[in-house]
Structure 1
Amino acid sequence: MYVIVVYDVEQARVAKVCKYLRRYLHWVQNSAFEGEITEAQLEKLKSGLKKIVDPDCDSIYIYRLPQERYLHKEVIGQKKANLEQFLD
């Protein structure tokens, strides 16, 4: 499946969350990651994030698509990361 993860966490945890997400997905924008992932990897990712974040003040959104081909992405302005190198 293809997932997009966006997060808003307190400054003290931003680096930890970013580093953790880089294990599974590709960074595309400040506080945004995306990429192909298996169901098992997604469950592992969610479990790890729950150990890092504070649910009382942080938020993480995970959007799932069956495959990347169902995603229509439009970027206005400058791309923050070049995914083409990973998707070939």
Structure 2
Amino acid sequence: MFVIITYDVGVKRVGKVCKKLKEYLTWSQNSVFEGQITKTLLLQCLDEIESIINPEVDSIYVYEVKNPNYINKTAYGVEKSFDDLFL
């Protein structure tokens, strides 16, 4: 399945959440990851993220796209790339 995950977490946890999501998906923009993932791996990823976040103040949104053929992604301005930031 194709998913888009966005997050809004405390400053102390941002790096840990970002690092964990990089293990499973592709970084596309600040606090946004996307990509193909199996249901099993998605559940594993979310389980690991739940151990990092504080559910009383942090939020994670998961958008499951049933048919990614119907997504039209258009970037306006600079299209960010995780590799460009660190290489």
Q: TM-score, normalised by structure 1?
A: 0.88
Alpha-carbon deviations, 1:32-84, whole Å to 9, x = none? 000000010011011111101000000010001124322121211110128xx
* 1:57-76 → structure 2 map (5 Å cutoff): 57-76=57-76
Determine the C-alpha separation between the residues in 2 that align with 1:49 and 1:68.
24
RMSD: 1.2
In the alignment, residue 56 of structure 1 is paired with which amino acid? E
Of stretches 22-31 and 60-69 in structure 1, the one that deviates more from structure 2 is 60-69
- Structure 2 residue aligned with 1:18: 18
* 1:1-88 → structure 2 map (5 Å cutoff): 1-81=1-81
Determine the C-alpha separation between the residues in 1 that align with 2:54 and 2:69.
33
Determine the C-alpha separation between the residues in 2 that align with 1:49 and 1:64.
17
Quote how far apart the aligned CAs of 1:7 are: 0.4
Identity of aligned pairs, percent?
44
Q: Tell me, which stretches of 5 or more residues in structure 1 are unaligned?
A: 83-88
Instruction: Report how many residues are paired.
Output: 82
- Structure 2 residue aligned with 1:85: none
Contact 1:36–1:68 under 8 Å retained in 2: no
Q: TM-score, normalised by structure 2?
A: 0.88
